[in-house]
Amino acid sequence: MKFRSICTACVFVMCVTAVYAEPDSDVSKASIETMEEWNDWKFGMFIHWGAWSQTEIGAIWHMWREDTPEQRAQRFKLNETFNPVKFDATEWARMAKAAGMKYLVFTTKHHDGFCNWDTKLTGHSVTDPACPYSKSPNPDIVKNLVEAYRKEGLGIGFYYSHIDWHHPQAMLFSETYLGGKLTREQREKARTKELANVDSRPEDWKEFVQFEKGQVRELLTNYGEIDILWFDIWWPSGGYSVPIKHPKVKDDMVDLLKMARGLQPGIIINNRGTDFFGDFETPEQKIPEGAPSGYWETNMTMTDPYRRHGGGYWYKGSDAPAKSMDELLNVMVKVFSKGGNFLLNVGPAPDGTFPKAAVSRLKDLGSWMNTNSEAVYGSKRNPLGENPDWGYITRKDQNLYLFVFDWPKKGEKITLAVPGKIKSARLLKGNKSVTFSYDSGESRVEFTLPNKPPHPIASVIAIEVESRF
C-alpha cells in the first residue's frame, strides 16, 4: 500500500537486549505513519475459513473441549474432503469493497493446523494431493485472495495461529490440549508444565519454533507486500500484550518478529503472543470501556456467537442468522467514536460461498457506508468530554460528525456542547443544511432536525467548527 514506502524512512526502534538475539537485536515497531494509515482504514473483513468449515460448528474449541480423541482424529481428516468448488476470491473481494471494508485478515492457518497456502512444511494443506482442492487449477487459496483483494485496492492481513493442534510437537507447548474447560488451577498447572517442556524438551521446542518461523517466512516471502500479520493465541506463558516470561521463548519470539519485519519492513503486527512488540491491541467480541490510548481494533463475529455450539467465527450452517444492522451499526460506530478499527468476521461455507445472511448484511453496511463514509475513513476519536445520549461522535480536522441513533421526536432538538463557533451544519445524506442555534448560556448548540431521519438506524450530521479544538 502507498504508506509502505513512507514507513521505511521513519520506523522508530525499540531496543531489546536478549542473549540469543542476532547482533542487530532491534525489534522495530510499525511507524506512526503506517499506523495512522491503518487507523484511517477503520473497517476490515475478518475471514475464518478452511477444512474446519465443513463441521458447520462455528467454533473450533469444540475440537478440544467436547470431541473425544476418536472424533478429534476424524477432524484431522477433514483435509481429505475439503473441496470449495464455488470459491471465487474476486467475488469475496468485491463484496468486501462494496461493504466499505478497506482490508482483509484471513486465516492462513488456524488452531487445527490446516494450511490454506502452498506450504512446503506440512502435508496438512490445501495444495497437498490428499486435499481434493489441490486438483483445482489454482489451489493456493492465499495466493488467490491476495491477488483479488489487492486488485480491489484493499489491504492484506494474514491471520496465523501460534498453536497448531496438528503439529506433532504442539502437544507439549500448549495447555489448550488438556481437553475440556480448565479451572484456573488446572490452567496454571498446564502453563507450568508447558514451560517445563521448553527446558526439558529443547529439541522439540526448537523444531516447533523452526516450523512456525518457516511458515511465517513462506507467507511473508511468497505473496508480495503484506500489510498485517495477525497472530492468535500465544507460545508458553504468553498472552495478549503481556511479557513472555521464559527467556528462551522470548528470544525465539524476538527472532521471529525481527525476521517478519526484515522480510516486510512496513508490516503491522498485532499484540497476540508478541510480548509488547505488537503495534495494536485486539479486544475481541467487545468494546473496551475506555478509549485505549494506543492503536486498537475490535474483532467481532457477524453471526450471533452464542446461537449454536458457542463461538461464531466459523461457518454455522446456511440458516445461521447475522446480527441485526442495529446491533452492528451501534458497535461499529461506537468503536470508531473511541478511535478503534472494526474487524467484522465472515465464516464462508465449505463450498466457498458466503452465507446468505452475511451477503445481505454486507450489502446493508455498504449502503450505509456509501452515504456516511466521510464521517468514518480518516476519522479520529470523539475529542469532546461528552458522550451524548442520542449517539456517537467522530472528528476529522475541524469537523465533528454526529451519528444520531436516537432521532428527536417532532418539535424536539438534539443538543451538544461544541468548543467554538459553528460555521456550518449539514446532513451527510443529501448534504442538506441543518438549522442550529445556541442556548441562552451560549454553552450548548441546539440542532433542529427534519421529522424523518435519513436512515432508520443511524443518520450523520457534519458540523464545521471555526476555531481549532
Instruction: Please report how close the Cβ of residue 17 comes to ligand FHN at its closest, in angstroms.
Output: 31
The number of CA neighbours under 13 Å toward the Cβ of 151 is 12
Q: Can you tell me the distance from the alpha carbon of 307 to that of 200, in angstroms, rounded to the nearest whole number?
A: 43
* Per-residue cell: 184: 484456573
Q: Which is nearer to ligand FHN, 98 or 233 (CB)?
A: 233
**Is-contact 331 287, C-beta < 8 A?**
yes
Q: Can you tell me the distance from the alpha carbon of 369 to that of 414, in angstroms, rounded to the nearest whole number?
A: 23
Q: Which is nearer to ligand FHN, 39 or 299 (CB)?
A: 299
Instruction: Please report how close the Cβ of residue 240 comes to ligand FHN at its closest, in angstroms.
Output: 9
Helix or strand (DSSP H, E) at 400: strand 399-404
Residue 28's DSSP bridge partners are: 13
**Which of 56, 66, 225, 284 forms a contact with ligand FHN (CB under 6 A)?**
284
User: Per CB under 6 A, does 379 bind ligand FHN?
Assistant: no
* Per-residue cell: 28: 522495530
Q: Can you tell me the distance from the alpha carbon of 1 to that of 21, in angstroms, rounded to the nearest whole number?
A: 30
Q: Which is nearer to ligand FHN, 133 or 240 (CB)?
A: 240
* Nearest by Cα to 91 from 359, 274, 297, 275: 359
User: What 3-state class would DSSP assign to 466?
Assistant: coil
Q: Which is nearer to ligand FHN, 132 or 239 (CB)?
A: 239
Instruction: Please report how close the Cβ of residue 388 comes to ligand FHN at its closest, in angstroms.
Output: 31
Instruction: Please report how close the Cβ of residue 292 comes to ligand FHN at its closest, in angstroms.
Output: 17
Instruction: Please report how close the Cβ of residue 441 comes to ligand FHN at its closest, in angstroms.
Output: 47
Q: Can you tell me the distance from the alpha carbon of 253 to that of 243, in angstroms, rounded to the nearest whole number?
A: 11
Q: Which is nearer to ligand FHN, 139 or 305 (CB)?
A: 305
Helices 202-221, 184-200: axis angle to 10 degrees equals 90
Residues in contact with ligand FHN, shown as a per-residue x/- string from 296 to 325 under the rule CB under 6 A:
---x-------------x------------
Instruction: Please report how close the Cβ of residue 71 comes to ligand FHN at its closest, in angstroms.
Output: 18
Residues in contact with ligand FHN, shown as a per-residue x/- string from 205 to 234 under the rule CB under 6 A:
---------------------------x--
How many positions of this chain bind ligand FHN (CB under 6 A)? 5
Q: Which is nearer to ligand FHN, 60 or 427 (CB)?
A: 60
Instruction: Please report how close the Cβ of residue 145 comes to ligand FHN at its closest, in angstroms.
Output: 17
Instruction: Please report how close the Cβ of residue 313 comes to ligand FHN at its closest, in angstroms.
Output: 5
Beta strand extents in 252-382 (DSSP E only): 268-269, 297-301, 341-346
Q: Which is nearer to ligand FHN, 66 or 204 (CB)?
A: 66
The residue type of 84 is P
Instruction: Please report how close the Cβ of residue 434 comes to ligand FHN at its closest, in angstroms.
Output: 39
CA distances to 34, 226, 271, 353, 424 from 11, in Å: 9, 17, 18, 40, 39
Any idea what the Cα angle at residue 464 is, between residues 458 and 424, rounded to 5°? 90
**Is-contact 63 75, C-beta < 8 A?**
yes
Residues in contact with ligand FHN, shown as a per-residue x/- string from 59 to 98 under the rule CB under 6 A:
-x--------------------------------------
Q: Which is nearer to ligand FHN, 117 or 314 (CB)?
A: 314
Q: Which residues contact ligand FHN by CB under 6 A?
A: 60, 232, 284, 299, 313
